[in-house]
Chains A and B, each alone.
Chain A
Amino acid sequence: MRHHEIDQYARLSPLNRFDPRVKIVSTIILIVSMAFLTDPIAMLFCLTFLTVLIAVSNVPVKHIMKSYLLAFPFIAFASLAVFLSSGGASAPGMFLRITDSVLALLLLVSTTPFFELLKALRWFRVPMIVSSLLLFTYRFIFLLLDELERMKMARTARGFNGGRSILHKDALRTIAYTAGMVLVRSNARAGNIYDALLSKGYTGEIRTLNGLRASPRDAAFAVSFFAVSVLAISIQIGVIAWTL
């Protein structure tokens, strides 16, 4: 089965040359700043900045959009909740704000190899158990999908077509059995994968070939994110409009 690996274009991206620690901090600063924004112009300003970065990142827009679509139902649900509780005026703001944050995170994970991202998190003293959990969650999602695909094929080969309706008791029973079997089989496979990692010297610590080394170029990267954050906040509180 062909998976949608989130970092598959990371090594080809010019943004991969920046230190992952700097990228993490810059992204967090931007996301926190965006969390305070309600002014649509400020949010659109951030969106433009992120769009430009995505354009220069060499990561195909289709790849970013595929990942974004995974988050879209949650964004839509949150916006709908705001629309129902606070009225129509706030919903687009919520939609833009979450979209900006998701795009900022997607930019980070699409332009940084996953292992380097984890290594940077370890540098920030994120506990080993958390980095290991992230690593295995990321890998085991694909494992679950693989097992699901195999079970689906096995079911189809033996004439299962979903029953008359999803609510039909036979269909429900087959789906329940499938879910159970997928979990059991994935668990067995996950055990084997963990054994394989142990046999290759994995101890829980994240190791990569490239050492973490920040340079003046990384400072420029951080300053650009910081500047955009300050500008967005300035637009929000009216400093820029007042100055003009």
Chain B
Amino acid sequence: MDALNLIEVSYAYPDGIRAIEKIDLRVRTGERVALVGPNGAGKSTLLKIMAALLFPTDGSVEIMGEQLTKKNAERLRRHIGFLFQDPDDQIFMPTVWDDVAFGPINMQLDADEVEARVRDAMRMAGIEGYEQRVPHHLSFGEKKRVAIAGVLAMKAPILLLDEPTANLDPQGRSDLIRILRSLPGTILLATHDLSVAFELTDRAIVLKKTKLYDGDLRPLLEDQSILNKASLDLPPLCKLMVEWRKKSGKKFAIPLTVDEALDVLDPDGG
């Protein structure tokens, strides 16, 4: 079964500005997909449509095989965990424990189950011991972890992550990537940072109001016209290897990670 299936989805804001145009998109259960594109490409809007928070002006959306309507949106939202770009948009309750427990309590789970889910989610997000802290007094990175714990506690089969690493310092970014890598289920993340996509996903969808590309990440790196159209920049490692490939005349696929680059540069490992 497809986790998400979008058919010719378009969305226009009330002032008439069209955010996305005729997007077809199918995400299989368990798949990890990066939604990449520049600012204003419609990534967040598309994620909100998939989270049943916005309704498309044209086209249809299926979540876990069921067509989204205004009537069933409340129920279908239970399949989705949504991580907002800014944790201040997501954190609502006066203490970390209350905020992580907010979703499970709304799902009307019993107290023991809520307790267990909150404990597990806080452990996975690395915020054990923060239970009684006031979220608004935490650092940005800590708030991001609280927001992730709140999403994890709902145990939704589909996770939608809007710019999950935005504004994080390098340590916070690598911690977050480690957490996200460990998560089970279907993950769809919006980012304009291709290196995040490399580290977490296998498939990329390039968006700039319409879908410019949908497929594996490696061919995307070789397609300069798509990258230019979507104002995407290769990560420094990839740029370096592209330049070296030109100068050396060697033929190899652009490496995505440092280990892959080392294999290209020193195939014998000496």
Q: Do A and B bind each other?
A: yes
Q: Which residues on A are within 8 Å of B, measured CB to CB? A: 1-3, 5, 7-8, 113-115, 139, 142, 146, 189, 192-193, 195-203, 207-209
Q: Across the interface, do B84 and A192 meet the contact criterion of CB distance under 8 Å?
A: yes
Which chain B residues lie closer than 8 Å to A146 at the CB level? 88
Q: Across the interface, do A200 and B102 meet the contact criterion of CB distance under 8 Å?
A: yes
Shortest distance from the beta carbon of B100 to any chain A beta carbon, whole Å? 10
Instruction: State the CA gap A142–B103 with chains docked (Å).
Output: 22
Q: Which residues on B are within 8 Å of A, measured CB to CB? A: 48, 51, 53, 74, 77-78, 80-82, 84, 86, 88-90, 92-94, 98, 101-103, 105-108, 111, 114, 134, 136-137, 150, 154
Shortest distance from the beta carbon of B190 to any chain A beta carbon, whole Å? 15
Smallest Cβ-Cβ distance to A6: which chain B residue: B94
Shortest distance from the beta carbon of A199 to any chain B beta carbon, whole Å? 4
Q: Across the interface, do B53 and A199 meet the contact criterion of CB distance under 8 Å?
A: yes
Shortest distance from the beta carbon of A194 to any chain B beta carbon, whole Å? 9
Instruction: State the CA gap A146–B150 with chains docked (Å).
Output: 22
Q: Across the interface, do A201 and B107 meet the contact criterion of CB distance under 8 Å?
A: yes
Q: Other than the known A115-B98, A195-B48, A196-B92, what 11 A-B pairs have Cβ atoms closer than 8 Å?
A: A8-B134, A115-B93, A193-B90, A196-B82, A196-B89, A198-B53, A199-B80, A200-B103, A201-B107, A202-B102, A209-B101
Which chain A residues lie closer than 8 Å to B136 at the CB level? 1-3, 142
Instruction: State the CA gap A209–B82 with chains docked (Å).
Output: 23
Instruction: State the CA gap A67–B240 with chains docked (Å).
Output: 59
Which chain B residues lie closer than 8 Å to A207 at the CB level? 105-106, 108
Which chain A residues lie closer than 8 Å to B101 at the CB level? 209
Which chain A residues lie closer than 8 Å to B86 at the CB level? 192
Q: Across the interface, do A7 and B103 meet the contact criterion of CB distance under 8 Å?
A: no
Q: List 20 A-B contacts (CB under 8 A).
A: A2-B137, A3-B136, A7-B94, A115-B93, A192-B84, A192-B89, A193-B89, A195-B53, A195-B82, A195-B89, A196-B82, A196-B84, A197-B92, A199-B80, A199-B82, A200-B103, A207-B105, A208-B105, A209-B111, A209-B114
Which of B74, B90, B105, B108 meets A196, CB within 8 Å?
Answer: B90
Given contact pairs A5-B134, A209-B101, A209-B114, A200 touches B106 in the complex (Cβ within 8 A) = yes
Instruction: State the CA gap A189–B91 with chains docked (Å).
Output: 12
Q: Across the interface, do A201 and B106 meet the contact criterion of CB distance under 8 Å?
A: yes
Q: Across the interface, do A5 and B106 meet the contact criterion of CB distance under 8 Å?
A: no
Which chain A residues lie closer than 8 Å to B111 at the CB level? 209
Instruction: State the CA gap A113–B97 with chains docked (Å).
Output: 13
